[in-house]
Amino acid sequence: MIRSPIITVMTDAVMKAARSLKRDFGELEALQVSVKGPGDFVSAADQKAEKILREVLEKARPGYGFVLEEGGVVEGTDTTHRWHIDPLDGTTNFLHGLPHFAISVGLERQGQIVAGVVYDPIKDELFVAEKGAGAYLNNRRIRVSARRDFATSLIATGVPHLGKSGHATFIKELAGVMVRTAGIRRFGAAALDIAYVACGRYDGYWERDLKSWDIAAGIVLLREAGGFIADADGGDDVLGKGSIVCGNEAVQSELLAVLRAAR
């Protein structure tokens, strides 16, 4: 696995925050839960994990900025670096006792995502990637699926829920994809969806209305695993548009074509 100083810093921060999340996951009934928007919940566990991540990363790399799910944008004295952090990707799963969620940390340097860590504390699966150094799951190098036949591909997506826009567009896209593939999955954690494409569990994935902290780490994971990534319009502004279509070269290309035809 990658042992660079920056990956070591990111991994240490994620592991420390994960210990807190695991404790809280085991005591769901004691969590204080507040509502910050329709269908969008934030828990005490979420806020605690974000605080831990910020403290550890600030100590290791003073001056770096932050883009935080809960804390918003924090400008740093080093304007060339900033962290994109989702302390609990899959909050709704977490709050319902579903053991499928993750911590996601991506590092942006001069406008490019150059390192990413996604950790699933329940399955103890650590996905790491650094630009030019490959992508790994725990200590094993990972690659995207080699499957080229769209009809036998397993595709992941995210379903817009209460408070989200794009329901009509999604229904059209879903109708186009589901009749052409072996199956569609919706697990409710975007960072893990992308990580699963990177390691070949899914052949492709698409979703709209995402934030940078949902996908920053996944971008470098996927690219270092040999994957292809675009926004929903086929461009390269994934972070800016908050949409993603990814997979190996063949599947991603066909998935983009199917989505365009469906709209």
Binding residues: 69, 86, 88-89, 214
Residue 5 makes CB contacts below 8 A (sequence gap 6+) with none
- Tokens describing residue 225: 């695993």
Residue 211 makes CB contacts below 8 A (sequence gap 6+) with 69, 86, 242
Q: How far apart, in whole angstroms, are the C-alpha atoms of residue 103 and residue 111?
A: 22
**Binding site for Mg(2+): residue ranges?**
69, 86, 88-89, 214
Q: How far apart, in whole angstroms, are the C-alpha atoms of residue 101 and residue 20?
A: 14
Alpha-carbon distances of 215 from 34, 50, 192, 193, rounded to whole Å: 24, 16, 9, 10
Q: How far apart, in whole angstroms, are the C-alpha atoms of residue 168 and residue 180?
A: 19
Helices marked H in the chain: 5-25, 44-60, 91-95, 167-178, 190-198, 212-224, 238-241, 249-262
